[in-house]
Amino acid sequence: MMKLVRTLASTFVAMTLAAAVHAQVPAKPQVVLLATGGTIAGAGASAANSATYQAAKVPVDKLIAGVPELAQVAAVRGEQVFQIASESFTNEHLLTLGKRVAALARQPEVDGIVITHGTDTLEETAFFLGLTVRTDKPVVVVGSMRPSTALSADGTLNLLNAVTVASSKDSRGKGVLVVMNDEIHSGRDVSKSINIKTEAFKSAWGPLGMVVEGRTYWFRAPVKRHTLTSEFDIEAIKALPQVDIAYGYGNASDVAQRAFVAKGAKALIHAGTGNGSVAAPVVPALRELRAQGVQIIRSARVVGGGFVLRNAEQPDDQYDWVVSHDLNPQKARILAMVALANGSDSKSLQRVFMEY
């Protein structure tokens, strides 16, 4: 009898200790992976194909299953939002994705969100989400430069790093992030700079941090307005106005600008040379279009950094034009659409470009 009592007591103590140990093990972060297609979901004809392949082929469940190490970092569940190549992203895709991200961010059990995306317009989507999704939870956009079938595939590590960043409490409050090639970038600053290397994404002012062997290392934080400090809200945006980009170059004419407005553009981004310069034959057309109510925003086609100075090259005050500050043409288009959907005039539009 005493032996049975001692056995039961030992069993009880062991169970109590096991329960205590289990209680001390923190629950894994809950991360939702939203898949939209792109190269990270692509497949080539052979392992030697790193630049020739079909994008948007692998579904989200296979993406997750292909990286079993994800389970060591977080409890990951996936949703297939789209299955497209990112050059085909439309304004409607941006709104649909933004509203889904916002809805997930409101769920208390969700700790972070990862979005797999094609690299061609990844920077535009990341910036859009950073402007319109009101959350301090980590939202990470990730892609790959090579398909999963390639010998040098980069998608699996990029995805693992993205989930690592989305799972980290240190990532909160830093806006929408882009994780590529072991680097953590601000969605506002980053751009695709080359199309055949894995280190394709660069920020003019440098990355925010790095992911090395499963740990995040931070070196700076964004200072421009984003997410919770943004005046914009995805839930209030019903549609995005048409904003188009006209390129500046030698021997430029005003044909593109007039054609865009004829097709409904509410604003034009002038992707100018140098400091957003406007060729003499184009200036009269832009002034005329501004008089018709079209917003004119001077940006620069230069690569690698810098910004457009107001009233340099052109008398912006006199013409009632706006400058994009350090935003490249594609980022300027995103911000202009969001601001105009909010009812901005030229003065508030210029303020927005300086604050965001």
Contacts of 125 (CB under 8 A, 6+ apart): 86, 89, 94, 97, 115, 117, 141
Pairing relationship of beta strands 183-186 and 112-116 according to DSSP bridges: unpaired
Q: How many residues does the chain have?
A: 356
Strand partners, 236: none
Q: Is 149 part of any known ligand binding site?
A: no
Q: What distance in Å separates the CA atoms of residue 74 and residue 129, rounded to the nearest whole number?
A: 23
Q: Is 120 part of any known ligand binding site?
A: yes
Nearest 5°: phi and psi at 81?
Answer: -80, -50
Q: Is 121 part of any known ligand binding site?
A: no
Just list the catalytic residues. 39, 119
Look up residue 43 and give its DSSP letter.
B
Residue type, 275: N
CA-to-CA dists, residue 247 to 121, 134, 320, 350, angstroms: 18, 33, 20, 21
Residue type, 129: L
Task: Spell out where the chain has E strands.
Answer: 30-37, 75-84, 112-116, 139-142, 176-180, 183-186, 190-192, 201-203, 209-212, 215-218, 243-247, 267-272, 295-300, 322-323
Could you tell me which residues are annotated as the binding site for substrate? 86, 119-120
Could you tell me which residues are annotated as the binding site? 86, 119-120
